Structure 1
Amino acid sequence: MTAQSEGWGRSRIDYDEGAESYHVACEDSELASTNVVLSISALKGVGPTDLPPLAETVNPDALDRLFSPSAEVEGSVSFEYAGYDVTVNSDGRLEIVPERDAVRRKQQRN
């Protein structure tokens, strides 16, 4: 199974060259945890099951509850997963930065 075979492909991912990051807009009906895994699998060109379990990094159920459509939360959660820095925003957007770019960005800020 690949992200593309699920009807979820790289076409949903935009790259912001200036920010050196990928952005994914998620639908209210989609789970944040699923979008993280499918986005990373599409970027890597592998199937979702080829990635490490998301639960080794963050609690997927808590992530889904925190960013469910009925949750009235503003903010974001950031974590590292499968070679990327991932930020899940309360408005349903994902920001995904390859770790090599994230390290460089952090060094430039300091």
Structure 2
Amino acid sequence: MSPSSPTSSQKLSTAVIEAVAKRMDVAPTELPERLLDVIDPDSLDSLFASGNPADGTVTFTYCGYSVTVTADGDVTLEE
């Protein structure tokens, strides 16, 4: 799947939830798993926060997808 990027005011954790919900064709509130049960959303949001010089990627499994988040803010899903 091509990567999606959060809007400037959107948190990465929200972008992940919305990308997975869109891919599964359900509302974010209907996802079968909470993001909090997989990764700390606050840590994810702060890891690549603007002004943070961090570079790299984070990959984790969420709702059956391999989710990769990059320092650029891109969110990519793979089955």
2:28 counterpart residue number: 48
Higher helix share: 1
2:3 counterpart residue number: 23
1:34 counterpart residue number: 14
1:14 counterpart residue number: none
1:84–1:97 CA contact under 8 A, matched in 2: yes
| Structure 1: segments with no counterpart, 5+ residues | 1-20, 99-110
Please provide the CA RMSD for this pair: 1.1
Cα offset, 1:27, TM superposition = 2.7
Higher strand share: 1
Q: Distance in 2 between matches of 1:24 and 1:74?
A: 18
Q: What secondary structure sits across from 1:72 in the alignment?
A: coil
**Which structure would you say has the larger RCO, counting Cα contacts within 8 Å and 6 or more residues apart?**
2
Query: Percent same amino acid among aligned pairs?
Result: 33
TM-score, structure 1 normalization: 0.66
Q: Distance in 2 between matches of 1:27 and 1:92?
A: 9
Runs of 4+ in structure 1 displaced over 3 angstroms? none
Aligned pairs, number = 78
Q: Distance in 1 between matches of 2:5 and 2:34?
A: 22
Write the mapping of 1:1-110 to structure 2, written as runs, cut at 5 A: 21-51=1-31, 52-98=33-79
| Structure 2: segments with no counterpart, 5+ residues | none
Q: Distance in 1 between matches of 2:47 and 2:25?
A: 28
Cα offset, 1:28, TM superposition = 3.0
1:28–1:68 CA contact under 8 A, matched in 2: no
Q: Distance in 1 between matches of 2:53 and 2:64?
A: 30
- Tell which structure's C-alpha radius of gyration is larger: 1
